[in-house]
Chains A and B, each alone.
Chain A
């Protein structure tokens, strides 16, 4: 069964850092592009970042560029999102998702982990 499970969410003060993890199982993680997508409370979906299957390329939404870093460890089947200089507006549920190869969509999603940025 293809599965993604996020962890690492919590409550953090503005300006601080947090790292999210996403553990993959049931598929060949090292052959899959991976995304982070977030959803602020009561709001729609916002794409955050993508990393190629081998980590060779990464791209970010303007709203997080320069503050967030997406990375992966294919030996551990794990995706990461390092979030620095957090802002109140980064408060959201964060989902990791697998890239649907060839169509640039997302076909497997984790249940999400919640990040709350508050003083």
Chain B
């Protein structure tokens, strides 16, 4: 089973700053199957990025994904107030879907 480790656990930033979130896999992951979600308190997750770098419908272009193999990154170029949330990466391999433990982006 592929384990995803997200870092940092918490990111404290101010609106307007750049956020860089890391997702590291215990084994190589197909880029096609690396996904990023955003979750706000009391809400369901929301699809942000699929295929490592493709923005989902309606996702602003300040969100971008990159990476390959075992190292993937979600970047938020300039944080807006609504971007403060928890972010999860997720992968698929061999009939198993796994999530990272999440990175909380909080207001500094």
B32 touches A (CB below 8 Å): yes
Main secondary structure of the interface of B (DSSP, over half): strand
Smallest CB separation, B30 vs chain A (Å)? 9
Q: Mark B66-108, 1 if CB is under 8 A from A, else 0.
A: 0000000000000000000000101010011111111000000
A residues less than 8 Å from B33 (CB atoms): 103-105
Residue in B44, B90, B96 whose beta carbon sits within 8 Å of that of A95 in the complex: B44
B23 touches A (CB below 8 Å): no
A residues less than 8 Å from B98 (CB atoms): 47
Main secondary structure of the interface of A (DSSP, over half): strand
Cα–Cα, bound, A94→B44 (Å): 10
Smallest CB separation, A27 vs chain B (Å)? 13
Question: Does B99 lie within 8 Å of A45, measured CB to CB?
Answer: yes
Give the interface residue-count category, chain A: 20 to 34
Cα–Cα, bound, A95→B47 (Å): 14
Question: Does B97 lie within 8 Å of A35, measured CB to CB?
Answer: yes
Question: Quick one: given A44-B102, A47-B99, are A105 and B35 in contact (CB under 8 Å)?
Answer: yes
Smallest CB separation, A107 vs chain B (Å)? 5
